[in-house]
Structure formats: structure tokens, C-alpha cells
């Protein structure tokens, strides 16, 4: 059970406080409700590029990191298709430094040409390092547009192409900032040995004077139901073939989300999972085979990815995975298997409560979904799931016409 308190400033900023007296470290996490899905299709990669710019100095503070490091802290951030999340950890006595820094960059960024120019190249190097200069690095650049035809999940957070990042102008940057970086769009959580009064006072002092900005309401195209199997085959200079499959699944707030999550666990959570046990170890058709969900806010993807053993064709590999999926559609999973998954989830939940930063991030994510209190009800969503529920969901999700398949072939 994670206890927390919540209040909202007049400008709309939501603030969560979680007290944990056992640690000398405080976590300051601030999430903004903006991600790659909010980008213009002709200017992708922007939310992430922007995350980099947020470290390039703000109106009154030329450099974000130096004062934080001076206070014994460190900082980082990540961007997903849904959100941009910034976090600082520091010795608790210096908490105010984080308030000072984070409020100033929400108040107004410095917008220097130098920062834009440098971060454009840094992000381009990141693009190369993780997506182009790695075997299989471009998989998500291929899979997303295969699975999504309308919804902006069709491009990756890094962007569709390097060109979009190269083309970003200062005007774009400013427009993006004022549109998405508003107090109403932010959720702050402070977790550590702090009191609610202390956090209230600091929030009021540093964030209180920031004026609310225009509300942004998101209107995204809904991905129409997929009605036929999509296939893509590419050839790349990689050591071995790889197989990728995606299936459309429910959005984060749908009850069916938890069913899909559990199905992915049945298939590939732990070494005794079906994929690992049967297809990797018993039949030895794959060197690795995973199932996971993207976990996105809007309707997401159930993904299967694997590398077939040398000598096993992609066609054969695909057929074997289909067979496992069909078993889930035809046969009920055993109570033992179900209990195993539930026990594992319980453990993961408890281990997740070990770090203040982790707790702060999760509280913010749940608040974004509607209510931070959901953090304590997560297990309830799984407890009552029955084998029958899972079978019904498997019948829906694993329909072949709901899937996209990528054959990623090694150049011979």
C-alpha cells in the first residue's frame, strides 16, 4: 500500500506527495501529458527532441544540470508515445533546488540557437546509435507503420526519419513549448522523507506564480479495426532471421488490458513460460522468443518477437507461434499456471515499492490515467481473472486478421 496525498495549485498543476521516512534521498518526478502521439506527422521526433532541449537552460538559469549536481543530485528524463517524464533525485535537505530548477524551465525555456543546434545533432547520433547502427535496430521503424495506419502510434518516439529532426526550427520549438508545457498539463510527485505541508509550501512558492496557459485538448484519429493480415518482409545485413508479430489490443483503461497483459505473461514471463519452455527449450525452434505488450494509453499492441534457430525457416517459426496462440484459444489454461502468474505479479509489485523514484513515477502515471489511487488497486484487476476470461480474450486478440507480421531476413 502506497500512501499519498494530492492537491492542485490554482494554475492547474497537480501535486502528489508520498512520505517515505526510510531514505535520505528524495525523488522529484514531473510528468507532462505530451508524447510522440501529439506530433504533427510531418514533424515527428519532436517531443523527444524537446525533452533534450529542456536541459539546455531556462530563462533565469543558464544550465540545468550544474546547480543540481552542486546540490548532490542528478537528473534524467524519458519520452514515450504518450508522455514526457522528468526526474531528479537528490539528498532530501536540498529538495528546494529541484523546485527552483523545474519550475523555471516550466515557466520559460531559454530557447538558445546553440542548444537547438547541438541537441539536434545529439538526437541524430542517438537515432544512429540505437536505430540504424545496431542489428535489428530499425524494427520499430518498420512495425509501427505496419500495425497503425491512422493513429499517431504509427511513428516511433525517435521520429520517422532523421530529416524531421534536422528540419526542426526555433519557431517549432517555441510553439510546441507553449502548447504542451503548461501547469495544467503537468503532474508532480515528491517522494521521500518530506511532509505534505513542506511540499505544499514549496509548490506554491515556485510553481504557484506560473500562469496557466491555453488548454490543449487532444483529438487523435482512432485506429480502425484491422480486417486482414498484413505482411512485410525485409532483408538486412544481420547474423540471423527474426520474426515479429503484432496484434491490436485494448487501451490502458479498458478492463481487457489486464487480460492481454496476463496472456503475455503466460507466454513469456519467466523461464517456465510457454514460449521459453516449449519453443526454446523443448522443441528448440527459437534461440529466444518473447511476448509483451506496449502498455500505451490508447489502444496498444500485443507483440511477439523471436529469433528462430539456425535452419528453421521464418514460415515454420511463424506456424509454430500460431500453434501456441491457437492452444490459448482452444484450451483453458490451468489454475496452477494462473496462480503462478498472479504470484509473480505480486512479487513484482512488492519489489517495485523499493525505490522512491519508482513510486513517484508510478504515482504520476496513474494520476495521468485518472487517479493516482489506482496504484494500490492494480493487483485487484488481476485477482479475479479466470481461465475462461483469458481464453475469450485470446480468441479475439489472436485472430490472424488482427495481426501484422514482419519477416526480418538475414542477407545471405
Q: What is the footprint of other proteins within residues 349-368 (CB under 8 A)?
A: 350-351, 353-355
If the CB atoms of residues 146 and 238 are measured against other proteins, the closer one turns out to be 238
The span of 97-105, 148-156, 167-175, 297-305 binding other proteins (CB under 8 A) equals 97-105
Interface with other proteins includes 73 (CB under 8 A)?
Answer: yes
The span of 170-178, 256-264, 266-274, 297-305 binding other proteins (CB under 8 A) equals 266-274
Interface with other proteins includes 377 (CB under 8 A)?
Answer: no
**Residue listed under C-alpha cell 504518450:** 82
C-alpha cell at 151: 493513429
Quote the CA–CA distance of 181 and 185 in Å, as a whole number: 7
CA distances (Å), origin 284, targets 61, 290, 307, 330:
57, 14, 11, 23
Quote the CA–CA distance of 41 and 149 in Å, as a whole number: 12
User: Could you count the other beta carbons within 10 Å of the beta carbon of residue 357?
Assistant: 20
For residue 66, the surrounding DSSP H or E stretch is helix 65-70
If the CB atoms of residues 103 and 296 are measured against other proteins, the closer one turns out to be 103
Quote the CA–CA distance of 63 and 26 in Å, as a whole number: 21
The span of 38-46, 79-87, 233-241, 365-373 binding other proteins (CB under 8 A) equals 233-241
Cβ at position 36, least distance to other proteins in Å: 18
- Parallel, antiparallel or unpaired: strands 186-192 and 14-19: parallel
C-alpha cell at 167: 528540419
Quote the CA–CA distance of 256 and 253 in Å, as a whole number: 8
The β-bridge partners of 115 are none
Quote the CA–CA distance of 4 and 18 in Å, as a whole number: 4
Cβ at position 344, least distance to other proteins in Å: 5
Q: Where are the alpha helices (H) located in 181-273, listed in sequence order? A: 196-206, 256-268
If the CB atoms of residues 224 and 336 are measured against other proteins, the closer one turns out to be 336
Residues in contact with 327: Cβ distance below 8 Å, sequence separation at least 6, in sequence order: none
The β-bridge partners of 77 are 86
The span of 68-76, 169-177, 218-226, 322-330 binding other proteins (CB under 8 A) equals 68-76
Interface with other proteins includes 292 (CB under 8 A)?
Answer: no
What is the per-residue binding string for other proteins in 190-229, x denoting contact by CB under 8 A?
A: ---------------xx--x--------------------
**Residue listed under C-alpha cell 504542451:** 180
The span of 4-12, 29-37, 103-111, 380-388 binding other proteins (CB under 8 A) equals 103-111
Quote the CA–CA distance of 123 and 158 in Å, as a whole number: 8
If the CB atoms of residues 106 and 372 are measured against other proteins, the closer one turns out to be 106
Cβ at position 93, least distance to other proteins in Å: 5
Among 138, 238, 290, 358, binds other proteins (CB under 8 A): 238
Instruction: Restricting to residues 111-150, name those near other proteins by CB under 8 A.
Output: 117-126, 128-130, 132-136
Interface with other proteins includes 251 (CB under 8 A)?
Answer: no
Interface with other proteins includes 273 (CB under 8 A)?
Answer: yes
**Residue listed under C-alpha cell 511540499:** 199
Cβ at position 27, least distance to other proteins in Å: 10
The answer to whether the CB of 52 falls within 8 A of the CB of 119 is yes
Among 195, 251, 313, 347, binds other proteins (CB under 8 A): 347
Amino acid at each position: 500500500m502506497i500512501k499519498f496525498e494530492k492537491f492542485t495549485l490554482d494554475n492547474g498543476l497537480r501535486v502528489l506527495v508520498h512520505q517515505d521516512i526510510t531514505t535520505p534521498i528524495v525523488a522529484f518526478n514531473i510528468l507532462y501529458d505530451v508524447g510522440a502521439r501529439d506530433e504533427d506527422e510531418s514533424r515527428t521526433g519532436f517531443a523527444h527532441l524537446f525533452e533534450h532541449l529542456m536541459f539546455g537552460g531556462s530563462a533565469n538559469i543558464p544550465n540545468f544540470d550544474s546547480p543540481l549536481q552542486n546540490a548532490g543530485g542528478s537528473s534524467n528524463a524519458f519520452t514515450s508515445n504518450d508522455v514526457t517524464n522528468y526526474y531528479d533525485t537528490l539528498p532530501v535537505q536540498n529538495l528546494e533546488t529541484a523546485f527552483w530548477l523545474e519550475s523555471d524551465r516550466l515557466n520559460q525555456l531559454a530557447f538558445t540557437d546553440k542548444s537547438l543546434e547541438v541537441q539536434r545533432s545529439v538526437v541524430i547520433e542517438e537515432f544512429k546509435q540505437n536505430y540504424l547502427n545496431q542489428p535489428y535496430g530499425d524494427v520499430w521503424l518498420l512495425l509501427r507503420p505496419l500495425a497503425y495506419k491512422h493513429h499517431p502510434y504509427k511513428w516511433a518516439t525517435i521520429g520517422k526519419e532523421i530529416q524531421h529532426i534536422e528540419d526542426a526550427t526555433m519557431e517549432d520549438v517555441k510553439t510546441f513549448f507553449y502548447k504542451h508545457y503548461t501547469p495544467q498539463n503537468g503532474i508532480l510527485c515528491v517522494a521521500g522523507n518530506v511532509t505534505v505541508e513542506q511540499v505544499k509550501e514549496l509548490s506554491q512558492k515556485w510553481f504557484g506564480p506560473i500562469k496557466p496557459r491555453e488548454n490543449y485538448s487532444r483529438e487523435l484519429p482512432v485506429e480502425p479495426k484491422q480486417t486482414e493480415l498484413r505482411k512485410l518482409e525485409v532483408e538486412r545485413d544481420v547474423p540471423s532471421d527474426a520474426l515479429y508479430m503484432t496484434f491490436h489490443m485494448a487501451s490502458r483503461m479498458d478492463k481487457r488490458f489486464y487480460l492481454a497483459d496476463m496472456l503475455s505473461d503466460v507466454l513469456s514471463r519467466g523461464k517456465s513460460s510457454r514460449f521459453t519452455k516449449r519453443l526454446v527449450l523443448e522443441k528448440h525452434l527459437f534461440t529466444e522468443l518473447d511476448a509483451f505488450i506496449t502498455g500505451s494509453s490508447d489502444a496498444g499492441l500485443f507483440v511477439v518477437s523471436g529469433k528462430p534457430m539456425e535452419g528453421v525457416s521464418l514460415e515454420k517459426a511463424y506456424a509454430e507461434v500460431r500453434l501456441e496462440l491457437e492452444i490459448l484459444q482452444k484450451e483453458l489454461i490451468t489454475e496452477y499456471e494462473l496462480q503462478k502468474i498472479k504470484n509473480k505479479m505480486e512479487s513484482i509489485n512488492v519489489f517495485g515499492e523499493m525505490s522512491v523514484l519508482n513510486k513517484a513515477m508510478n504515482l504520476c502515471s496513474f494520476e495521468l490515467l485518472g487517479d493516482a489511487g489506482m496504484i494500490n488497486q492494480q493487483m485487484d484487476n488481476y485477482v479475479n481473472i479466470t481461465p475462461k476470461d483469458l481464453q475469450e480474450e485470446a480468441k479475439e486478440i489472436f485472430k490472424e486478421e488482427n495481426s501484422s507480421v514482419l519477416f526480418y531476413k538475414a542477407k545471405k
